[in-house]
């Protein structure tokens, strides 16, 4: 009679080992897939949050600057004057204070496109500073497209309407609208509409010696 091994000392058969290894592999694969999916979701969430924060900063800054845009007329000659606000479909520039000192600076917001993705930049320099002394910084990255448009009347006899450009006008636009498309999928963000100051210096008396309004 062949003696039998005590219960519990028989070990595992080859089939049992193969089944166990297969189940362990399936569990590892499922776990890795779940972790990988979670990392991708986290990465997308971070990018979305960064874009939202960047757009919020851009909106708040532009809203603050435009609400303090200088509406004074810049005399160009006897009987000729225009406001220092120049708007185009991809950029706008105007005068506004950038700090508590109240000193006016030339601000230029522009959309720059490159081979990959574009960006929104702002440059700033004091009104009377030399050319080439502007400081530049990026406001928003991963911009697929940006459009600026302007609402109002550019001067006496000019109709009030939305325009793609605001050039050589005698008054500020009433509203500035910015439309943004972000990322490779060109996801459209809700359009931003910002009001500006409207009161220009209609009582300007041109001084040919100083080339400014009298008293300025």
Percent of the chain at pLDDT > 90 equals 16
Helix %, strand %, coil % of the chain (to 5): 25, 35, 40
Confidence of residue 157 (pLDDT cuts 50, 70, 90): confident
Do residues 146 and 164 make contact, with C-beta atoms less than 8 angstroms apart? no
Going by C-alpha positions, the residue among 111, 183, 176, 199 that lies closest to residue 144 is 183
Query: What is the Cα–Cα distance from 84 to 93, expressed in whole angstroms?
Result: 8
Beta-ladder partners of 175: 151, 195
| Separation in Å, CA 22 to CA 30, 36, 50, 93, 95 | 12, 21, 42, 66, 71
Q: Identify the pLDDT of residue 202.
A: 45
pLDDT in tens, 89-99: 999 999 888 87
Domain ranges of the chain: 55-72+82-198
Query: What does the DSSP assignment read for 78-94?
Result: TTEEEESEEEETTEEEE
Beta-ladder partners of 81: 75
| Separation in Å, CA 21 to CA 24, 27, 28, 178 | 5, 10, 10, 59
Query: What is the Cα–Cα distance from 83 to 93, expressed in whole angstroms?
Result: 11
pLDDT in tens, 118-128: 888 889 888 77
pLDDT in tens, 27-51: 887 777 777 767 776 666 666 666 6
The whole-number average pLDDT for the span 130-135 is 71
Which positions ≥6 away from 135 have C-beta within 8 Å? Answer: 123, 124, 125
The whole-number average pLDDT for the span 54-74 is 81
Do residues 68 and 197 make contact, with C-beta atoms less than 8 angstroms apart? yes
Confidence of residue 179 (pLDDT cuts 50, 70, 90): very high
Whether the pLDDT of residue 8 is over 60: the answer is no
Q: Which one of 104-108, 111-115, 163-167 scores highest in mean pLDDT?
A: 163-167
Q: List the single range of 7-21, 41-55, 126-140 with lowest mean pLDDT.
A: 41-55
Q: Which one of 23-27, 47-51, 61-65, 163-167 scores highest in mean pLDDT?
A: 163-167
């Amino acid at each position: 009679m062949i003696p039998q091994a005590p219960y519990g000392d028989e070990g595992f058969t080859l089939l049992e080992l193969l089944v166990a290894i297969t189940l362990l592999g399936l569990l590892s694969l499922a776990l890795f897939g779940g972790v990988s999916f979670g990392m991708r979701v986290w990465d997308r969430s971070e990018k979305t949050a960064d874009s939202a924060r960047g757009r919020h900063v851009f909106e708040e800054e532009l809203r603050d600057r435009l609400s303090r845009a200088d509406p004074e007329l810049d005399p160009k000659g006897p009987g000729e004057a225009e406001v220092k606000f120049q708007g185009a479909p991809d950029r706008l520039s105007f005068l506004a204070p950038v700090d508590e000192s109240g000193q006016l600076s030339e601000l230029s917001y522009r959309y720059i496109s490159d081979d990959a993705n574009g960006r929104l930049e702002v440059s700033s320099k004091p009104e009377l500073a030399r050319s080439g002394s502007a400081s530049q910084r990026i406001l928003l990255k991963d911009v697929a497209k940006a459009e600026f448009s302007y609402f109002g009347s550019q001067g006496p006899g000019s109709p009030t309407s939305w325009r793609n450009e605001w050039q050589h006008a005698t008054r500020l636009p009433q509203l500035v609208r910015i439309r943004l498309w972000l990322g490779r999928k060109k996801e459209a963000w809700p359009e931003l509409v910002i009001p500006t100051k409207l009161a220009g210096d209609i009582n300007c008396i041109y001084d040919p010696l100083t080339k400014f309004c009298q008293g300025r």
